[in-house]
A and B are shown apart, each in its own frame.
Chain A
Amino acid sequence: MATTVAAKRSFWEFIWDYLTTVDHKKIAHLYLAGGGFFFILGGIEALIIRIQLIKPENDFISAGLYNEMITMHGTTMIFLAAMPIIVGLMNAIMPLQIGARDVAFPFLNALSFWLFFFGGLLLNLSFLFGGAPDAGWTSYASLSMDSPGHGIDYYIAGLQIAGAGTLMTGINFIATIVTMRAPGMTYMRMPLFTWATFVTSVLILFAFPPLTINLFLLMFDRMFGTAFFNVALGGNQVIYQHLFWIFGHPEVYILILPMFGVFSEIFATFSRKRLFGYTAMVFATMLIAFLGFMVWAHHMFTVGLGPVANAIFAVGTMAIAVPTGIKIFNWLLTMWGGQVTINSAMLWALGFIPTFTIGGMTGVMLGSNVADYQYHDSYFVVGHFHYVIVGGTVFGIFAALHYWWPKMFGRVLNETLGKLTFWPFFIGVHLTFFVQHLLGLMGMPRRYWVFLEDQSLDLGNLISTIGAFLMGVGAIIFVINIIVSAFGEKAAADPWDGRTLEWAVSSPAPYYNFAQLPLVRGLDPLWIEKMEGNGKIPAAEPLGDVHMPNGSIIPFLMSIGFFISGFGFIYQTDNVYWYLALYGGLAFSIALMIIRSVKDDYGYYIPKEELEKALEGEAK
């Protein structure tokens, strides 16, 4: 049972609330905290890598540990930091933007979070129990079959569990956007962030199953003696690469499209203009997602697929530049003729434009397969993907956090600290990654534990390491910002003079989002009301009792069941008693699923009187 204001809660009530919540806004907090924690882990891994590469033939860490570091840095950053934070943002904001009270399946939403959390925990526990996976974040099935110890098994189990959560999120968001838009919110009136959430969720729906299958094949080869990838027994490893990249390429669009949505909101709001070319932007988003499924083999140009395959994938890859370029120009034209305020959110958005464009440039360059014969598996690629992931996804996350922090947490992040975060980080990004393009062309392959003396690679690597530390400084200042602003002023409902529905509710939003579902009169519904109405969103329904879902501890417990089962899968090759954990964990989770399905849970109602009181409070 929730109360209107949690005035004085005990610490344990606070914890229990978050363990059992099915509220998309609290789940968003959990994702941001979890993702933030793993981002710091991944950042430490990055600094360890760069320290190892600060000078030639360094021995800061051993070769074996280095391979674990590069593997975990990539895996953690992509699966446990970037994706969860993005899912957290989508969770926090999308339902508000479409005028809904929650997502379509709140219980499933909570389960998605706890699966991510326990999958990520399982994966990182490998460091303590015999070694982390060490075959790269891609874990190609020749080396990963060969890798001694259980590191790769942790990779498989951790990602299967976390990946299941992501797939559920994709389904959840699609159902929400299709069925729960407020009256008047047609598809072509949805904000770009919601469109991005929608398209990303479709990408998740189609991209994650190939990963799941691939990991199952690898699991069966490593744990149960099958021979999908075992060449001596008639298998081949190239099929692993195909399946991985059929997932992997759409995955990077999953990482960037929501950020494109964020930037569309930010450029429009802080230029005080509507998004230029809304229709083109929507269609460009869909085209990027569609084309994203047709280019996977550009990661495999040097595998020996033959000239026809290489040529087709090269042309397809270069074609994606077109809708992406359309977006960049539309953002620039959004600012054109506007009144542009440059605060922290806008700084990140402005920094994104040149940085991501450089990353996009090198992406097209990589798309020319003949050029890629030199670039592939060299530091050029490392430079490219960090420019797009850091310049696009990470900048987008910082921008979104500054923009939506008031709505999510009821505080505004400090502006001065925001600028102090941006500049070292931005300069650090360029110092770290620009020179890597040159290092690659100068003959330095990637995933190299050492580079040898006398190969002219020294200065570039030193510069790159210095840049990485600057990035670390920026990140630390951001953490300080979070702490400092927790004690700062409370935020207004609409601190930025916003255009979309989320700014029509208080900061943070009330636990039921909207006392009455809103009536949407057009694109940028709040702006319309400000320009043509009284600045308030009209209601689409009379005030009445509001139905809310009950919280549940089952998602948390189910995830623990899978977590334990994961250990069972990993260690059953060593000792048959581990089957107890394998089947025990699964049985526990399935029993909980059955309980959930069989036991009726009708939720509860917020009485009309409570909503009336809240509305009066707002009117004062």
Chain B
Amino acid sequence: MKDWLSKFRALVLFGIVALVLSACGRENLTALDPKGYGAEVSLKLILLTTIVMTSVFLVVIILLIIVLVRFRRKKGEPLKNVPQVEGSKTLEAIWTIIPIILVGIMAVPTVVATFQLADTSDKDEHININVTGYQYWWHFEYENEEIATSQDMYIPVNKKVYVNLISNDVLHSFWVPSISGKLDVNPENVNTMFIQAYEEGVYFGKCAELCGPSHSLMDFKVVVVSEEEYEQWVNDMKSFNSQELELDAVAAEGRDLFEEKGCVACHATDSQNFVPGQKPIGPDLTQFADRSRIAGILHPTEENLYKWLKDPESVKPGNKMTGAYPELSDEEIEKISAYLMQLSPSEVTAASKE
């Protein structure tokens, strides 16, 4: 840049565009209001490329408008012959070299950021969460902590967290727009990236690779808590034992039904039997009572839990729970729900952050 004034102007332009755009979209879902490292880096490049390309667009539009104003044939004007211009080597040079420079301006920061984001050399010094994508839910295993959960992923604020992604079936993609760009969840290899959130809160996660009929119903949440809360949460999750919970009569019957009806074959309800690397058949239900959503998408109300247990196919077409358990009567659902709503290991919950 020639002088500080143009740098200043560029920064101001950047800032104004960023500010305006950040109003777009729901907080903690939109990529335009980044609250994490990856999302921030991506937004910088989004803004840089937008501004560069918009300036090219403006040149094109201005030329087009001038052409239409100056050279348009007037109504009734007879056809006339005009000078046939072969071309201009100067112009060709100008509109070849300037775009090459503009591409350079966009390419250099892109390549630098690429290598920054791909640097996973300090993986072993940070929290590692093994993420498994399923049709249609997400499993989170906390390496080294010997706990696991599904759907809501808890992480501490301002700390780098590594996610190691793999699919149990078809392709999925792990996307938490407000925190970071996405990375595909492949069945044949583990993909690793780090995320780092700057603000506590509950962030929307989306599956971003067509994976079947319920592809759009695979929302998950990243719950960002303070460091102390995170430690608390991990300890609570470790020590929670669903079998030793003191329950009222209804919930106790629910716990029995949970076993009788076969739910226990697919769903863990605590981390007491944690086996590292194990791929459960169904979502881990530890902390189910405090989940941000039921089945990833339903608000956690009694009616919604009833709806889900009565007829999961109507909520999530093609999901693997349909038909995997015997039909439940309304009282059985009431009892099982009562039990599930007691699965609350910790006071650190998504609701406390929303």
- Interchain CB contact under 8 A, B91 and A449: no
Q: How many residues of A contact B (CB 8 A)?
A: 93
Q: Would you give the 0/1 interface string for B107-128, flagging 1 where the beta carbon is closer than 8 Å to chain A?
A: 1001101110110000000000
- Interchain CB contact under 8 A, A376 and B29: no
- Interchain CB contact under 8 A, B181 and A373: yes
- B 31-47 contacts with A by CB, 8 A: 31-32, 38-39, 41-43, 45-46
Contact of B24 among A63, A279, A442, A531 (CB under 8 A): A442
Would you call A196 an interface residue if the criterion is a C-beta within 8 Å of the partner chain's C-beta atoms? no
- Give chain B nearest CB distance to A367 CB in angstroms: 8
Would you call A318 an interface residue if the criterion is a C-beta within 8 Å of the partner chain's C-beta atoms? yes
State in angstroms the CA–CA spacing of A128 and B29 once bound together.
40
Residues in chain B near residue A237, CB distance under 8 A:
171, 186-188
Would you call B289 an interface residue if the criterion is a C-beta within 8 Å of the partner chain's C-beta atoms? no
Would you call A344 an interface residue if the criterion is a C-beta within 8 Å of the partner chain's C-beta atoms? no
- Interchain CB contact under 8 A, B29 and A238: no
> Looking at the complex, which of A322-330, A485-493, A598-606 is the stretch in contact with chain B?
A322-330
Given contacts A231-B187, A304-B183, A368-B49, contact A448 B103 (CB under 8 A): no
- Interchain CB contact under 8 A, A333 and B91: yes
Q: Would you give the 0/1 interface string for A443-460, flagging 1 where the beta carbon is closer than 8 Å to chain B?
A: 101111111101111000
- Interchain CB contact under 8 A, A318 and B204: no
- Interchain CB contact under 8 A, B46 and A332: no
State in angstroms the CA–CA spacing of A321 and B55 once bound together.
14
- Interchain CB contact under 8 A, A279 and B39: no
Contact of A135 among B114, B169, B210 (CB under 8 A): B210
Would you call A414 an interface residue if the criterion is a C-beta within 8 Å of the partner chain's C-beta atoms? no
State in angstroms the CA–CA spacing of A322 and B93 once bound together.
11
Residues in chain A near residue B67, CB distance under 8 A:
332, 335-336, 340
Would you call B276 an interface residue if the criterion is a C-beta within 8 Å of the partner chain's C-beta atoms? no
Given contacts A146-B212, A451-B216, contact A337 B60 (CB under 8 A): no
Residues in chain A near residue B188, CB distance under 8 A:
231, 235-238
Would you call A226 an interface residue if the criterion is a C-beta within 8 Å of the partner chain's C-beta atoms? no
Q: Would you give the 0/1 interface string for B180-206, flagging 1 where the beta carbon is closer than 8 Å to chain A?
A: 111110111101000000000000101
Would you call A358 an interface residue if the criterion is a C-beta within 8 Å of the partner chain's C-beta atoms? yes
Nearest chain-B residue to A138 (Cβ)? B210
Would you call B79 an interface residue if the criterion is a C-beta within 8 Å of the partner chain's C-beta atoms? yes
A-B pairs, 7 with minimum CB distance: A373-B181, A442-B25, A63-B213, A448-B216, A307-B118, A361-B53, A277-B87
B-to-A contact residues, CB < 8 Å:
21, 24-26, 29-32, 38-39, 41-43, 45-46, 48-50, 53-54, 56-57, 60-61, 63-64, 67-68, 71-73, 77, 79-88, 91-92, 95-96, 99-100, 103, 106-107, 110-111, 113-115, 117-118, 167, 169-171, 173, 175, 177-178, 180-184, 186-189, 191, 204, 206-217, 219, 297, 317-318
A-to-B contact residues, CB < 8 Å:
62-64, 66-67, 134-136, 140, 142-143, 145-146, 231, 235-238, 271-274, 276-280, 302-304, 306-307, 310-311, 314-315, 318-319, 321-322, 325-326, 328-330, 332-333, 335-342, 350, 353-354, 357-358, 361-362, 364-365, 368-378, 438, 441-443, 445-452, 454-457, 497, 531
Could you write out 14 A-B pairs with CB less than 8 Å apart?
A63-B318, A142-B170, A143-B211, A238-B188, A273-B84, A274-B86, A314-B110, A322-B100, A341-B79, A364-B106, A370-B45, A441-B25, A443-B25, A451-B216
